[in-house]
Structure 1
Amino acid sequence: MNLTELAARYGDKPAIVMAGSGDTLTYRELEERSNRIAHLFRSRGLGPGDHLAILMQNQLEVFPVAWAAQRSGLLYTPVNWHLSADEASYIVANCGARMLIHSAALADLAAAAEAAAPGLQSRLVAGGNVEGAERLEDAVADLPVTPIADETEGQYMLYSSGTTGRPKGILPALTGRPFGTGLAIDHLMGTAFGFGPDTIYLSPGPLYHAAPLGWTIGTVRNGGTAVVMEKFDAERTLHLIDERKVTHAQFVPTMFVRMLKLDDDIRDRYDVSSLRLVVHAAAPCPVEVKRRMIEWFGPTLTEFYSGSEGTGFFMIDTPDWLAHPGSVGRAVRGVVHICDDDGNDVAPGEVGTVWFSEIERFEYLGDAAKTAEAFNDKGWNTLGDLGHIDEDGYLYLSARRSDLILSGGVNIYPQEIEDALTLHPAVLDVAVIGLPDDEMGQRVHAVVQPAAGATPGPELERELIDYCRAKIAHYKAPRSVGFGVIPRLPSGKILRRELSAGYAEAGPPRTSS
């Protein structure tokens, strides 16, 4: 898994291909460019354990930078470039970055981050020109293409998605192992997911998110080729699978829904038979959506459940899922415990908080209180999810604890309602939240982003409520439906906090009977 050895073996084989532009990095080019940047890090005083921030769009230049950090023992944080200047600046300052490398198109955001980060010593622009800014290409032009003398494995340091407040930096423990040792996910991709030299991996997500970056790096670690989309598009995805003969791909459930809602004549144009493995994660997948994807793509779907904290890892393939529909699988890493609010284990089938034991401890950077909240007195960790296990040890998720709706003393899980509505032809996207109610405490409210051609209004509201009541218990169905854009992270996670805040400002919606 040492890039130098991979480059010697594979030479001019494409390591990375950008789907839109066709720009390509061979193994040899990736080796040489990342070595130059690693020498730059050392020349600027960045050693093992120091921090780099990467503020870049999905572009080829991300990969030499990330690989240079990985082989230099650095902690590196990819920053979500969709954030506001204040939010991005917070991450760059909070992670303690000594260097920031950014896209030319993000110069204004990078300048704001630089001004807010007192520890930042260097700011460089990659893949373009910005007046007054140092170009990465110029800075490395005369540096060696051979490895630095003290290569050690680095690690990406990710931030939580920030759905309930400021994002938290998840500080991993650097191992100090030689470069080439690889990370746990790199090995898991080879052993459990079948990645190898014949892999063509399609990555449709933003590279500042954990899976797209980590799994693209892991594809190269295992000798494959990664095809990286600049931006997800449903039909373009099918075209790439057909054209590139993609063998492995990774999606989030909202991408599945977008592909399923393409007209049949569009879907039928493309051959997806090259797919051997379709991975999905990051957000719960409605059972009916997954069934339809299996009917279309065949028994290729494998789901995993984990968090950026990396403490638990569950996975389930298609045959197991068909026998346990709705499950995210059994533990591959860590031991699962379902506990009540007093910390007691509950019986199979009973919903409680999901905890993991036999894990590697982590910390939230500079936040001892948040770190303490994530662990109990036994040293177990929770990500704040609710769920249950069945008699066979398969885990089923219900909701984030912070998303739970308590109506009339009854727990209602938004995911169940969203699953019921998501494939209605008038629904492009949907999110369910609890709104204050004088009688019930909270009432169920659905926010629907209408599909093209759908007319929002009272008639559609009534239709959607009746449709939902035909699928789930009446008390769970929304009492009201609003229409608007659903704020989501690119990982697929709904920003319910933003939705709830918007309704709080606008006042309570009217209630349908």
Structure 2
Amino acid sequence: MHPYIHAANMPEKTAIIMANSGERLTYAQLEERSNRAAQLYRKCGLKRGDNVAIFMENSIDYLPLCWGAQRAGLIFTCISTKLMEEEADYIVKDCGAKLLVASVSLGKVAQALTSVPHRFSVGGAIPGYEPLEEALAAVPASRIADESPGRDMLYSSGTTGRPKGIIGPLPEGEIDQADTMSALAGALYGFTPDMVYLSPAPLYHAAPLRYCMSVQKFGGTVIIMEKFDPERFLELVAEHKVTHSQVVPTMFVRMLKLPEDVRKAHDVSSIRCVIHAAAPCPVEVKEKMIDWFGERIYEYYSATEGSGFTAISSAEWLKKKGSVGKSMLGEIRILDDEDNILPPGREGRVYFHGGPPVAYHNAPEKTAEVQGAHGATFGDIGYVDEDGYLFLTDRSSYMIITGGVNVYPQETENVLIMHPKVADVAVIGVPSDELGEEVKAVVQPRDWADAGPELAAELIAFCRDRLSHVKCPRSVDFDPELPRHDTGKLYKRLVKDRYWPKAKA
């Protein structure tokens, strides 16, 4: 169901709670705000199929703006708050945004986004932006006359580092029509009207955004953390009798590292389901979480593209440790380098056949890289066992997943190679107890005498001035000569193998 139905049937039920500020919206208030957002979009001349960009930190205004776009037949693009001016500007131009809403805390970057005709600020003034609250107050709270369903178009970085807009067909019909994701959430994770869902991650990510909106389709309550803190997470579970949540493995690690007395001080018995995804979860970490929370830990494997989906419960995982589950969407095919389908137990490239096709906005060449005769691939290497369970073993593109965020090394390498003291560079992911992986640069200096802590600090600062900090190395090592073929190909695996333990035979 759509939130407007819940607003009619249970107007005073809480739809959103902000974890730290305590701000709340009832379903009636969510309905009013999303209607005003839709009215504002129409007042600014946006019609069905146009794009709205949202560049905001987690706040009470975020989801109403998305619901306003959804009911106005618009495409809404949520932009990472970690991006620098050039990165964010590329996205707003590429998606063709006609309206942008930005948080005042992001004002420095937001001022550079001048290609958007209509710009509104939240939480204070940004030069060149109109105050959102005033604009919303000036339009009616009634439903627009021409409602139709919209959808998100989120961006996922490609192997070249340039973000890719993931597009799909704009839904037809009524704004309250059923969707695949909500159906999966109900069947797999027991989404119900009485649920209380704790969202600890930024709403610009696909999973937090889509799951929060799915919760509100069921009529549940969403608690949004402004920023993840492990002890605060446990406090909120106990305080609000949280039933559901979704995390990334690094959050598990941070919770497990809390002192035992702190962990035991908070009642987590209300939890029915904690979902995790986005990054590989170490077996030992997941074992400890199941010991602590019980068999209420659920995992899935998918991507923003949505062309495939696997799922696994705690009970299944304890029998198939390390697996990401069986496919619920698309047939899993494991392919060798010649695109032959491999039998169970053989490792190769993972494809999903028969699921929704992948399409990237304004990038047919990028679409062709991931979509083929055997379906779509997320760029992973793995195998399927005799029972149909998928195990992931590597990433074909050397993508780094640090704290649940995808980082593609090429973009970072492109920055570092421009430093005058750098002759060559390889950026890789190395093991991290907290983050799963962290970014490391292995640098061949132009003058070996420069190699050392001072140059390492200089390179990190050089990168952080030009890229989102999550993409920048946390450490730098030096190598007299990186292993390159005469053709120029970098044997990155030879570099990476120095830092990763050998796989078991």
Q: Is the 8 A contact 1:61 1:127 kept in 2?
A: no
Q: CA deviation at 1:182?
A: 4.2
Alignment partner of 1:390 is 2:392: no
1:123-272 alignment runs, 5 A limit = 123-131=119-127, 133-162=129-158, 164-272=160-268
Alpha-carbon distance in structure 1 between the residues aligned to 2:340 and 2:202: 39
Q: Is the 8 A contact 1:153 1:182 kept in 2?
A: no
SS where residue 111 of structure 2 aligns? helix
Q: CA deviation at 1:145?
A: 1.6
Call closer, same or farther: CA 1:506–1:41 in 2, change over 3 Å.
farther
Call closer, same or farther: CA 1:215–1:434 in 2, change over 3 Å.
same
SS where residue 124 of structure 1 aligns? strand
Call closer, same or farther: CA 1:51–1:132 in 2, change over 3 Å.
closer
Query: Quick one: which amino acid aligns to residue 396 of structure 1?
Result: F
Aligned residue in 1 for 2:38: 38
Q: For structure 1, which runs of at least 5 residues remain unmatched after alignment?
A: 406-413, 438-456, 458-481, 486-493
Alignment partner of 1:88 is 2:84: no
Q: CA deviation at 1:429?
A: 6.2
1:401-437 deviation line (CA, Å, top 9, x unaligned): 12299xxxxxxxx99x84xx73xxxx77654879699
Alpha-carbon distance in structure 2 between the residues aligned to 1:404 and 1:428: 14
SS where residue 325 of structure 1 aligns? coil
Alpha-carbon distance in structure 2 between the residues aligned to 1:49 and 1:399: 38
Q: CA deviation at 1:147?
A: 1.3
SS where residue 357 of structure 2 aligns? coil
Alignment partner of 1:381 is 2:376: yes
Aligned residue in 1 for 2:277: 281
Aligned residue in 2 for 1:468: none
Alpha-carbon distance in structure 1 between the residues aligned to 2:310 and 2:66: 27
Q: CA deviation at 1:150?
A: 1.7
Alpha-carbon distance in structure 2 between the residues aligned to 1:204 and 1:507: 43
Alignment partner of 1:55 is 2:50: no
Q: Is the 8 A contact 1:403 1:433 kept in 2?
A: no
Aligned residue in 2 for 1:491: none
Call closer, same or farther: CA 1:433–1:178 in 2, change over 3 Å.
same
Aligned residue in 2 for 1:449: none
Q: Is the 8 A contact 1:353 1:384 kept in 2?
A: yes
Call closer, same or farther: CA 1:330–1:430 in 2, change over 3 Å.
closer
1:437-484 deviation line (CA, Å, top 9, x unaligned): 9xxxxxxxxxxxxxxxxxxx9xxxxxxxxxxxxxxxxxxxxxxxx9x9
SS where residue 392 of structure 2 aligns? strand
Query: Quick one: which amino acid aligns to residue 17 of structure 1?
Result: I
Q: CA deviation at 1:212?
A: 1.0
Q: CA deviation at 1:70?
A: 0.9
1:355 to 351, 367, 372: 351
Q: CA deviation at 1:400?
A: 1.2
Alpha-carbon distance in structure 1 between the residues aligned to 2:435 and 2:392: 23
Query: Quick one: which amino acid aligns to residue 65 of structure 2?
Result: V
Call closer, same or farther: CA 1:506–1:219 in 2, change over 3 Å.
farther
Alpha-carbon distance in structure 2 between the residues aligned to 1:12 and 1:334: 40
Identity between Structure 1 and Structure 2 (%): 45
Q: CA deviation at 1:140?
A: 2.2
1:365 to 351, 361, 369: 361
Q: Is the 8 A contact 1:357 1:379 kept in 2?
A: yes
Aligned residue in 1 for 2:308: 312
Alpha-carbon distance in structure 2 between the residues aligned to 1:428 and 1:361: 31
Q: How many residues align?
A: 439
Call closer, same or farther: CA 1:316–1:64 in 2, change over 3 Å.
same
Alignment partner of 1:324 is 2:320: yes
Query: Quick one: which amino acid aligns to residue 74 of structure 2?
Result: L
**Bigger shift: 210-219 or 183-192?**
183-192
Query: Quick one: which amino acid aligns to residue 301 of structure 2?
Result: Y
Alpha-carbon distance in structure 2 between the residues aligned to 1:129 and 1:399: 46
Q: CA RMSD in A?
A: 2.9
Q: Is the 8 A contact 1:173 1:362 kept in 2?
A: no
Query: Quick one: which amino acid aligns to residue 104 of structure 2?
Result: A
Q: Is the 8 A contact 2:441 2:477 kept in 1?
A: no
Aligned residue in 2 for 1:300: 296
Q: CA deviation at 1:167?
A: 1.2
SS where residue 307 of structure 2 aligns? coil
Aligned residue in 1 for 2:330: 334
Alpha-carbon distance in structure 2 between the residues aligned to 1:71 and 1:498: 38
Alpha-carbon distance in structure 2 between the residues aligned to 1:161 and 1:296: 35
Call closer, same or farther: CA 1:349–1:498 in 2, change over 3 Å.
farther
